[in-house]
Amino acid sequence: MEKGRILLAVTGFHPQRWRELLSAEREVVLEPDGARDPSITYAVVWKQKPNILASLPNLRAIFSIGAGVDHIFADPGLPDVPIVKVVADNLTQYMTEYVVWRVLDHHRQGLLYRSQQPKKIWHEPQQRPASDISVGIMGLGNLGRAAASVLLSLGFAVNGWSRGDRPMDGVATYSGEAGLIPFLKATDILVVLLPLTPDTRGIINYGVLKELRKRNGLGGSVLINAGRGRLQKDADILRALDDGTLKEASLDVFEVEPLPKTSPLWSHPKVFVTPHTAATSDPVHLAPIMLRQMDAFERGEKLDNLVDRKAGY
Ligand code: NDP
Ligand code: OXD
């Protein structure tokens, strides 16, 4: 089979860098030039323009530049071809670093020390062992499981919540709607690593935050969201922080991105903001993985890491 050409339809990343790396092995056409081009068989996308993929008569597979694929499903004219998501060691490592960094910072009172320093306050809060704190990972998938195993090795108690049963050694696992409240009630630090789907949109709301466990050495429950912004209600998080339902939050993702300059989250003393950078897709690592998958597919092998279109992730 001839090597298919690639349409690169990328908003917000660095299309030129992706183009350079992908074109080492295949011809790459930048959106919008490839519209209706019959020689294009693959699309590599991030937030592609609506209906561009539907215009390609011989499209055989869509590759997401990210682990999340909600940006692809936002296209009303999405063609019915396989969708491949990113699963890669370096992306997983970045996310594990982010989760462990934020959990340790909240556990070791980083926000308190940062507020004390400008005022030259020498005050030592009580220290507690990690084993006193349970971290609940919402979304025990590729990223959630990797973070869970490092947190376990640091001595934290770890809970996990997923759609189906996903047993993991050392982790108390919960699943589905029935498992949600018990999972929250056993969790001090909630780490959100869910995909954005019709079932998960808005799931991080006041009612859910209210269920988190308060009995812990942290002095309150903590939210860390590195999944997607529209999983959460920004206003509910602010309300929970202001009435003490939440002690602190680390947010990498927001309902609207970039986070509007008018958002009170920017200057909230209990919030740590990062600009959707928990785990950045690095084309140097990811482009070769995509090219290998295209080669394998053309040899008649199966594509890995396929998205379940019905589940939406
Ligand atoms: P996976 O598909 O491997 O895992 C998703 C997990 O979420 C699975 O455990 C799945 O359950 C669970 N899940 C999905 N829907 C539900 C539901 N309705 N109820 C309960 N659990 C549910 O994804 P990854 O771990 O690779 O990535 C997770 C998300 O992280 C991405 O979708 C993306 O949005 C986000 N992300 C953010 C980045 C950032 O920089 N901020 C970077 C990379 C990813 P089950 O196991 O049963 O299928
Ligand atoms: C992703 C992301 O989904 O960067 O990979 O958010």
**pLDDT tens for each residue of 247-259:** 999 999 999 999 9
Please compute the mean of the pLDDT values over residues 75-86 and round it to a whole number.
Answer: 97
User: Average pLDDT for residues 193-218, to the nearest whole number?
Assistant: 94
Ligand 1 atom closest to Cα of residue 140: 9
pLDDT at 278 over 90: yes
Is residue 276 annotated as part of the catalytic site, yes or no?
yes
Select from 55, 50, 137 the least CA-distant residue to 102. 137
Kindly give the distance from the C-alpha atom of residue 154 to the centroid of ligand 1, in angstroms, as a whole number. 23
pLDDT score at 12: 81
Q: Which ligand is nearest to the CA of 274?
A: 1
In whole angstroms, give the CA distance from residue 86 to residue 279. Answer: 11
On whether the CB atoms of residues 29 and 37 are closer than 8 A, the answer is yes
pLDDT at 4 over 70: yes
For the chain, percent of residues with pLDDT exceeding 70: 99
pTM tops 0.95, yes or no: yes
How remote is the C-alpha of 39 from its chain's centroid? 33
Which listed ligand is nearest to 229 at the C-alpha?
Answer: 1
Model confidence at 86: pLDDT above 90: yes
Q: Is 89 exposed, middle or buried (0-12, 13-18, 19+ CB in 10 A)?
A: exposed
Give the pLDDT confidence score for residue 43 in this predicted structure.
97
* pLDDT value for 162: 98
Kindly list the protein residues whose Cβ atom lies closer than 6 A to any atom of ligand 1. 66-68, 95, 139-144, 161-164, 166, 193-197, 199-200, 226-228, 252-253, 276, 278-279, 313
Q: Residue 66: CB within 6 Å of ligand 2? A: yes
Helix (H, G, I), strand (E, B) or coil at 133: coil
Ligand nearest to the CA of 313: 1
DSSP type of residue 4? P
E strand or H helix at 178:
helix 176-185
Q: Which two tokens stand for residue 281?
A: 């897709």
Q: Point out the ligand 1 atom lying closest to the alpha carbon of residue 85.
A: 26
Single out the catalytic residue among 60, 128, 166, 276. 276
In this predicted structure, the answer to whether residue 190 has a pLDDT above a threshold of 80 is yes
Q: Flag whether pLDDT at 32 surpasses 90.
A: no
Region of poorest pLDDT, from 71-85, 146-160, 209-223: 209-223
Ligand 2 in reach of 281 Cβ (< 6 A): yes
Query: In this model, does residue 165 exceed pLDDT 80?
Result: yes
Contact 257/68 with Cβ under 8 angstroms?
no
**Ramachandran area for residue 202 (φ above 0: left; ψ -120 to 50: alpha; else beta):** left
- Asked if 228 is an active-site residue, the reply is yes
How far is the C-alpha of 61 from the C-alpha of 63, rounded, in Å?
7
210 pLDDT exceeds 80?
Answer: yes
Strands (E), 150-227: 157-162, 171-175, 189-192, 221-225
Task: Indicate the pLDDT class of residue 1, thresholds 50, 70 and 90.
Answer: low
Atom of ligand 2 nearest to the CA of 276: 6
Q: How confident is the model at residue 217 (pLDDT cuts 50, 70, 90)?
A: confident
What's the average model confidence in pLDDT over 74-103?
A: 98
Exactly one of 5, 102, 213, 228 is catalytic; which is it? 228
Secondary structure element (H or E) that encloses residue 40, with its range: strand 40-46
Cβ pair 220, 248 in contact under 8 A: yes
Side-by-side strand order, sheet with 61-64: 28-30, 5-10, 40-46, 61-64, 83-84
